[in-house]
Structure 1
Amino acid sequence: MKIGSVQNVLICKPVFSSDEASELDRQVCPPSASQYFHVQSQQAYVLEPSSADYLDGLSAPFDYTAAAGFFALAFTVVVGTWMVSAGAGAVLNMIRRG
């Protein structure tokens, strides 16, 4: 499942002085107060809008309550299986020694 693609994007990179920003830079990236910007091309992995729900689900916080429930169930099954097998082993030893 493809969730995005590599594309060239334009970013506004801050510069230290207004001399470093050309007229084109000022048109594309207007200055903010005394901060000027330079237009720069950069490759970026751009996500498809349809994959947003999938990625939001992955970034959900870990549910410790659900994990504790699964752990308790698994632990109970393991201990229960051990107790049943220990009881069956005791019965078989009693029959064998009989």
Structure 2
Amino acid sequence: MPLGSQAVVFVCQRTAPKSALFVAGTSNQIVCTLPDGNNGFLVARPSYVLSPESEAFLDAVAAPFDYGLAAGLWSLAFTFVVGLYLVAKSVGMIVSMVRR
């Protein structure tokens, strides 16, 4: 399942781009207004744009680690392994008694 797609995003940045296509002082620069009111330059950048359908997955991944749940799962697994060991040990003792 892709989380998004690649796209070209236009961004207004403070400094002029350092490209051969954009020469300072020429008419091939597009001027835009920054949020602080100063002028900037419109620049195209390749970006990875997330799709709205992936929001639930990303929110679940970004959730903080739940130590209580991890401790509960670890103790359940540990109890299961110890219980399995005790059952195998008692079955082994019964089998050894029957052999004698």
Q: Which range, TM-score by smaller chain?
A: 0.7 to 0.9
Larger fraction in helix? 1
**Structure 2: gaps of 5 or more residues:** 17-23
Normalised by the length of structure 1, the TM-score is 0.74
Task: Report the secondary structure of 2:78's partner residue.
Answer: helix
How big is the alpha-carbon RMSD for the aligned residues of Structure 1 and Structure 2? 2.5
Alpha-carbon distance, 1:36 to partner:
4.5
**Aligned twin of 2:21:** none
What is the SS of the residue equivalent to 1:15?
coil
C-alpha distance 6-48 of structure 1, shift in aligned 2 (>3 A):
same
**Identity level (%):** 37
1:28-78: CA deviations, max 9, x gaps?
224736x54222110111111222122111111111111111111111111
User: Runs in 1 of length 4+ with deviation above 3 angstroms?
Assistant: 20-24
The answer to whether the Cα contact below 8 Å between 1:12 and 1:37 also exists between their aligned partners in 2 is yes
TM-score by length of 2: 0.73
Unaligned runs of 5+ in 1: none
Q: CA deviation at 1:24?
A: 3.6
2:70 paired with 1:64: no
1:84 — aligned with what?
87
Distance across 2 between alignment mates of 1:91 and 1:30: 81
8 Å contact kept, 2:10–2:44? yes
The count of corresponding residues between Structure 1 and Structure 2 is: 91
Q: How far apart in 2 are the matches of 1:91 and 1:50?
A: 57
